[in-house]
Structures are given as structure tokens and as C-alpha cells.
């Protein structure tokens, strides 16, 4: 692992594995490169099959810095971080994979100018791209009620995961309420590279993957076992990514 420094001086951790074709892998909310890509074997599988996995931890997550200055969470901050990583590493011929918040950010980053050879959007439906305030409200409420949430509360699982990952609540709230912006669905027509919409068979947390597939110019869909959190733990996800990128 090493670190790169974002333009606003935030330190971003970067995990790398394997040699070969670069694939930039963007993890989900409250997760990390270790949890999303390494722990359950997805990155090792790609690395064994000729890919170099480049896996940042988003700011506030994993081994990256979690600043609490509101000025460091202007709208689109994660997209700017992704663009900066690609520019800093000099990536030109590469693939791009994202899960959940990572898929949302990958979508925005391509619209903003990234041009990967192939794109994988995991755990994402079309509604998840355009109603961030509604989607994030659940997590903001969970942070605000953190100390009073007990087993049986709908937010208990999210609280437990966030606590286990060591996420700073103040920084996370800033990211949720300031740092992420909606995607104009009309802009999906600009995503012209072959795209895989990858979804768990019980996952509709971010809306309809079928509608997302149909809104993209060159997309197909693959279904793997599991709900939104569980699908990441299944080897099927890594195999589906490998099959598409290969």
C-alpha cells in the first residue's frame, strides 16, 4: 500500500495487487479496498489472470485520511479523487470497476471524462444515480442516532458495519451531505464503452439494474447470488468481473 495526495492535500491510500492490464476498482460506502475487493478474493482472482488491481480507499474510508473540514467535501469530491488517481498514475489503457457508491462515482467519472476500455457497475440501479439525498438520508439518520440504535432497529446493521470499519462519523456525515451530487440521467448516453451492470439476485437497494442497463448505449447485465451486502462476499462476483473484462 502507498498513498497519493489529492489536490486538497487529503491523503488517499492506494492498494495494488498483480501485474498486467490495469483495473481501477472503487469500493462502496463505509467499506474499503480490503473489504470489497481483497477479503473475498475478487482482486486476487483478477491478479492471477493478468490484471493489476489498483484499489483506492475513498477519503473517510480504510487507510485514507478522514478530514473534518467541511471545505474538503465540496460536491463531486470523490469524482475529483478518482480523476486525480488516474492522472497521477498515468493510466490510459485500463478498465474501471465500481460497487455501490463506487459504481455511482465511476459513472460520474466517465461522464466527467474518464475513458476506460470496459466499465463494471456493481450493486447499482438507475434510481440510485439520481436521488442521492433520499438514499443518503437513511445513513445520515443512522449517524445522528448512532448511540441510541439497538438490535432490531432497521439501521442496526449499517451502524454495526460502520463501527466495525472504524469510520469517523463526523467525516462520514460531511461526505454524505456535501460531497456527493446527483447524476443527470440524460448524461448516461455519454457512457459509450462496453459496460456490465452486475447485481445480486436479491439486491434492489439502488433501484432497477434492468433500467440502468437499458439506459446505457452498450451494456449487458449479469446476476450473482446475494443481496446488496451479501453479493460482495460471493466468489461469483469476482468471476463475473473477470469474465467481462477478459
Domains observed in the chain: 2-130+184-245 (3.40.50.1820)
Question: Residue 131's pLDDT is what?
Answer: 85
Any idea what DSSP says for residue 205?
A: T
**Percent of the chain residues topping a pLDDT of 90:** 98
Of 60, 80, 81, the residue nearest 177 (C-alpha): 60
Residues 97 and 122: beta-carbon distance below 8 Å:
yes
Q: Is the pLDDT of residue 134 over 90?
A: no
User: Considering the entire predicted model, what is its pTM?
Assistant: 0.97
pLDDT in tens, 151-191: 999 999 999 999 999 999 999 999 999 999 999 999 999 99
Amino acid at each position: 500500500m502507498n498513498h497519493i495526495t489529492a489536490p486538497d492535500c487529503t491523503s488517499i491510500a492506494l492498494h495494488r495487487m498483480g501485474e498486467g492490464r490495469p483495473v481501477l476498482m472503487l469500493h462502496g460506502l463505509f467499506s474499503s479496498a480490503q473489504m470489497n475487493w481483497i477479503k473475498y478474493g475478487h482482486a486476487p482472482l483478477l491478479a492471477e489472470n493478468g490484471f493489476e488491481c489498483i484499489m483506492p480507499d475513498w477519503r473517510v474510508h480504510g487507510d485514507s485520511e478522514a478530514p473534518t473540514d467541511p471545505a474538503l467535501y465540496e460536491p463531486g469530491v470523490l469524482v475529483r479523487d478518482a480523476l486525480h488517481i488516474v492522472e497521477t498514475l498515468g493510466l490510459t489503457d485500463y478498465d474501471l470497476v465500481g460497487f455501490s457508491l463506487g459504481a455511482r462515482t465511476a459513472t460520474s467519472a466517465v461522464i466527467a471524462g474518464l475513458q476506460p476500455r470496459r466499465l463494471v457497475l456493481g450493486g447499482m440501479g438507475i434510481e440510485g444515480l439520481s436521488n442521492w439525498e433520499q438514499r443518503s438520508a437513511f445513513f445520515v439518520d443512522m449517524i445522528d442516532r448512532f448511540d441510541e440504535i439497538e438490535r432490531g432497529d432497521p439501521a442496526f446493521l449499517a451502524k454495526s458495519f460502520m463501527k466495525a470499519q472504524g469510520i469517523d462519523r463526523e467525516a462520514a456525515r460531511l461526505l454524505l451531505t456535501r460531497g456527493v451530487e446527483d447524476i443527470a440521467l440524460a448524461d448516461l448516453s455519454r457512457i459509450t464503452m462496453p459496460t456490465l451492470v452486475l447485481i445480486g439476485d436479491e439486491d434492489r437497494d439502488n433501484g432497477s439494474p434492468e433500467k440502468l442497463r437499458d439506459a446505457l448505449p452498450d451494456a449487458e447485465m449479469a446476476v450473482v447470488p446475494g443481496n446488496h451486502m451479501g453479493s460482495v462476499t460471493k466468489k461469483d462476483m469476482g468471476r463475473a468481473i473477470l469474465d467481462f473484462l477478459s
